[in-house]
Amino acid sequence: MKMKELLRDVKVLETNLDLETEIPSIVYDSRKATPGCLFAAITGFAADGNRFVPMALEKGAAAVLTAKRPAGEVPYVLTPDDRKALAQVSANFYGRPAEAMTLVGVTGTNGKTTVTLLVKHILETVLGARVGLIGTMANQIGREVLPTERTTPESLELQALFAKMRDAGCRYAVMEVSSHALALDRVGGVRYDVAAFTNLTEDHLDFHKTMDAYCDAKALLFARCGYAVLNRDDPYAPRMAEKARCPILWTSKAPGDGLSAQDIRLKADGVEFTAALDGKRVPVTLGIPGGFTVSNALTALGIALGLGISLERAAEALATAPGVKGRVEVVPTPGRDYTLLIDYAHTPDGLENVLGAFKPLCRGRLIAVFGCGGDRDPLKRPIMGEIGTRLADLAILTSDNPRHEDPEAILRDILAGIPKDRGNYEVIVNRVKAIHRALDIGQKGDIIILAGKGHETYQQIGDEKRPLDERQVAAAYLAETRE
């Protein structure tokens, strides 16, 4: 593609290039530079891509896209915003694939994965459409599953993924949109037909510093959509609405304007409620337990309405939706009379929601196994310690993904939030041993919740991802100890 075509809609301050130059590829990692490529020198948090311009040129890069004018004889395009420019040239390079599909974006701290999977199921069931999915658990093109490294890919990889979806015949793309992706312009230039907000609770403050900044990053999504679905039950929803430049559908578990849930019935194997909108009442059944499931279902139904699907047909589709891996996932426990669940709850709100949902359903004890991730917001650790020991009859504190932190130091942070008069907890650093302990002490009627890892099948220690699938850990240990 010619350089002038790549630079469509990119703000260029100056350039010394022949804009007729053919560019065969784009890279932002100098190690991947190839002859003739455009090297995007991104000013990052860990490293400044401009430091690697000489390496990229040595490997044959034809030009540098940068927000810092290079010294010496360097072919360059100078732009005021390198991240936004990377997003725009990436979209141009792949032929603006997002414009060929109907796009749905979901943001929020918790519930994004469940909502996007429910919307994908509704679209496939009601419309028979081929749907692309981008999210925490995996990326999908129809039924094909692709691995994923982060909730929202970097802009270059995102546009390449959009192109694969377009070329595979996807009419819709449904994606989780993280606060990092919005703040760092990974979704620069992308406009969503429908966007939704689930909730906002403490997370990622290592990056955003304050809850208001975290909220404002997510709110950027609603300045680039045609229809917004907002959860009125969350206190940050009005702040989200301030950014919206489109019609808004409010959802709530309480009566009021918009789409609401009435006659809510929470069961051990799912939820039932009546969805009410403009005098219409439609029964809804979804086989995922927990009060938060009602909120997620309302958001999915709201998105479907924004896409022109009737409330009745969307509700019918939800009745056949499968459970979501790692979201209140029931794990078989042959020979044992307790219930074992795996959930991705890794924030204070997530942990409180899942423990609070099952506390009243528990005929025995509620046992929670959880920890906190390393290299992530440390402020939430003591909060989760307090929540876990308040709601669980027994909390087993353990390691999550310690990454580059000392697991015992993370546990000390968690312990700092537990009142001294609470003795209903144990500390077992090794996560596998902690799971074994929970399985050993489980009794008839108990509910054991393994929180934090969810769909993940690894434990990250340092830069290494070591295999750890809690389903396999439980199955192997139960088989080994079966009498």
Q: What is the CATH number of the domain that holds 23?
A: 3.40.1390.10
d(CA 103, CA 106): 10
Could you tell me if residue 323 is inside a domain? Answer: no
Is residue 228 located within the same domain as residue 373? no
Could you tell me if residue 267 is inside a domain? Answer: yes
Of 43, 66, 93, the last residue of a domain is 93
Share of the chain above pLDDT 90, in %: 80
d(CA 169, CA 55): 38
What was the pLDDT predicted at 246? Answer: 94
> Is the pLDDT at 78 greater than 60, yes or no?
yes
Closest Cα partner for 147 from 132, 137, 159?
137
Residue 460, SS3? strand
What was the pLDDT predicted at 203? Answer: 62
Is residue 308 located within the same domain as residue 232? yes
d(CA 9, CA 217): 23
E-assigned strands of 253-338? Answer: 259-267, 270-277, 280-286, 329-331
Could you tell me if residue 356 is inside a domain? Answer: yes
Could you tell me if residue 251 is inside a domain? Answer: yes
E-assigned strands of 309-398? Answer: 329-331, 339-343, 366-370, 394-397
Share of the chain above pLDDT 70, in %: 97
What was the pLDDT predicted at 313? Answer: 98
Domain count across the chain: 3
What was the pLDDT predicted at 44? Answer: 73
Q: What is the band of 146 on the pLDDT scale with cuts at 50, 70, 90?
A: confident
The model's pTM is: 0.82
Give yes or no for a contact between 28 and 40, defined as CB atoms under 8 angstroms apart: yes
Mind listing the pLDDT tens digit for each residue in 369-383? 999 999 998 999 999
Q: What is the band of 131 on the pLDDT scale with cuts at 50, 70, 90?
A: very high
Is residue 265 located within the same domain as residue 305? yes
Residue 279, both tokens: 């005098």
> Is the pLDDT at 483 greater than 70, yes or no?
no
Give yes or no for a contact between 458 and 466, defined as CB atoms under 8 angstroms apart: yes
We report the CATH number of the domain holding residue 269 as 3.40.1190.10
Q: Report the pLDDT averaged over residues 424-449.
A: 97
Is residue 20 located within the same domain as residue 137? no
Domain that holds residue 58: 3-93
What was the pLDDT predicted at 467? Answer: 96
What phi and psi, each to the nearest 5 degrees, are found at residue 284?
-130, 135
Could you tell me if residue 324 is inside a domain? Answer: no
Is residue 336 located within the same domain as residue 292? no
Mind listing the pLDDT tens digit for each residue in 289-325? 888 899 999 999 999 999 999 999 999 999 999 888 8
> Is the pLDDT at 152 greater than 90, yes or no?
no
What was the pLDDT predicted at 466? Answer: 96
What was the pLDDT predicted at 411? Answer: 98
Could you tell me if residue 167 is inside a domain? Answer: yes
